[in-house]
Amino acid sequence: MDDSFASPGIDAPSPTLSARLRELADYLGAPTAGRLTEEQRALSLGIARRLVADVAAWLHRDIDADALWRDWLRGGLPGAERLAATCFARGEEHRWREQTMLRGAAPSLVAEPEGGPGEDPAAIADKPLSDIERAYLALRIADRRRFDGLGNPCLAIADLDGELFHALLLDVAAWRLVQGGKDDALAAELRDAVRTSFARHGAERGIDGAAQAYHDILAASAALPETAATAIARQDWPTLVALAAAAHRRRYGDMALALLTAEAATLPSLLAPLRIDRAALAPLEASLAMLSGRAIAGGFAGEGPE
């Protein structure tokens, strides 16, 4: 990190001291603003780590993502400011969904049938999907790509803003080049890999594409308000965020963060394009109100100044 913060009389501060002084300066600049909780820090860091590993794997299968992450942890993540909003939005969305999962309802008990067609593999062969069902399935698949194999939150490469992805590719490639001794052949190989990866990324259709398709097909069938209201009743937040994002032509992550940082009074206007009945917003308001540590306008919900 080259932008160290030095206090008068302290020469050559360590990165740790520099980081602490910077944090203290931020704190003194706004002492009453809520700070990140440890959970929020940990979530964002985990999301960033998984993203870096995924980008490295996209660029070249042989890149040692663990070594890369160790180096970046020591020296600081390049483009940390670019990453912060994206990782924070995903982390906050995850906290919200996890809270819903933990507080949510449980299965209805269904009597066990005695054999019958319910256990015939042929009986569950593909039934034709309606266009709406297909669009919803695509949205669900896009959403599940935002978790790793262990169920931890991550960012799908396809969902990344092109500029951020490109910057990350270049940063990873630069690290790999230094690791490889700045070899010319390696440099050329990495240049090609960056170009190919970026082109591949452009062809990917992430959650924003899936959200737009689902929104459009619902709008065409005049089923948008009902579906959005049902998503709220079921606390199916990814569907609600996707529909709201598509309606506002915003990215999914931006919309999630907008909802998560909104005061209750502004929710109706945020969701106005979905034409949901005001009363149907109650579960959303309640769910957001229960989420501690939200960075809402005018304070940090659920936490006092630290």
Partner 1 sequence: MSERIIRGRIDRAGTLVSADAPLLRLQQRAGGGLDRPLALPNLARLVALAQRLQRDISRPLYAADDHSDIHALVRVLPDANGASLEISDWRTRAMVQPQVPAIADSAAAPTGWTWECDQQLRMVALRGAKTMPLVPAGWEGRSLSELFELQPDEDGRFPVLRALARQAGFDGQRVRADGAEGARIAMTLAGEALFDATGRFTGFRGVAAPVEDAAVEETPPPRIDPVFGSLPLSDPQFGRRIDGALRGPLSRIIATAETISGQFDGPIRADYARYAGDIAHAGRHLLGLVDDLADLQNIERPGFKAAADEIDLGDLARRAVGLLGMKAEEKGIRIDAPKVDDKMPATGEFRRVLQVLLNLLGNAIRYSPDNSQIWIRVDRVDERAMVTVADQGQGISSDQQAVVFEKFERLGRTDSGGSGLGLYIARRLARAMDGDLTVESAPGQGARFTLSLPARDVG
Question: Shortest approach of partner 1 to residue 2 CB, angstroms?
Answer: 30
Counts for the chain of helices (H) and strands (E), in that order: 13, 0
Among 4, 17, 78, 147, binds partner 1 (CB under 8 A): 147
Q: Is 140 in the site for partner 1 (CB under 8 A)?
A: yes
Answer yes or no whether residue 28 interacts with partner 1 by CB under 8 A.
no
Measured distance CA(228)–CA(244) in Å, rounded: 9
Q: Is residue 206 near partner 1 by the rule CB under 8 A?
A: no
Which member of 12, 28, 102, 185 binds partner 1 (CB under 8 A)? Answer: 102
Measured from the CB atom, the residue of 72 and 194 that comes closer to partner 1 is 72
**CA distance linking residue 132 with residue 148, whole number of Å:** 27
Q: Within a 10 A sphere around the Cβ of 54, how many other Cβ atoms?
A: 18
**Residue 222 near partner 1 by CB under 8 A:** no
Is 233 a binder of partner 1 (CB under 8 A)?
yes
Using the contact rule CB under 8 A, the part of the chain among 119-127, 173-181, 260-268, 270-278 near partner 1 is 119-127
Instruction: Provide, rounded to whole angstroms, the least separation between the CB of residue 12 and partner 1.
Output: 35
Contacting partner 1 (CB under 8 A), which of 110, 199, 203, 297? 110
Q: Which of the ranges 82-90, 138-146, 214-222, 256-264 carries the binding residues for partner 1, by CB under 8 A?
A: 138-146
CA proximity to 146, closest of 237, 63, 276, 249: 237
How many residues belong to the site for partner 1 (CB under 8 A)?
Answer: 50
Please give the single-letter amino acid code of residue 27: Y
Nearer to partner 1, 43 or 258 (CB): 43
* Of residues 78 and 283, the one with the C-beta less far from partner 1: 283
Rounded CA gap, 276 and 271, in Å?
7
**If we measure between CA atoms, which residue out of 15, 124, 116 comes closest to residue 72?**
15
Minimal distance, residue 239 CB to partner 1, in Å: 10
CA dist 86 and 72 (Å) reads: 18
Integer angstrom CA distances of residue 101 from 93, 108, 154, 178: 12, 16, 18, 44
Decide if 280 contacts 272 (C-beta within 8 A).
no
| 303 is a site residue for partner 1 (CB under 8 A) | yes
32, two tokens: 């009453």
The one-letter code for the residue type at 199 is A
Q: Which stretch binds partner 1 (CB under 8 A): 69-77, 173-181, 191-199, 233-241?
A: 233-241
CA distance 217 to 248: 16
Contact flag: residue 236 with partner 1 (CB under 8 A): yes
- Check residue 151 for interaction with partner 1 (CB under 8 A): yes
Residue 137 tokens read as: 């399935």
Interacting residues toward partner 1 by CB under 8 A: 37-39, 46, 98, 100-113, 118-121, 124-127, 134, 137-138, 140-141, 144-145, 147-153, 233-236, 283, 286, 302-304
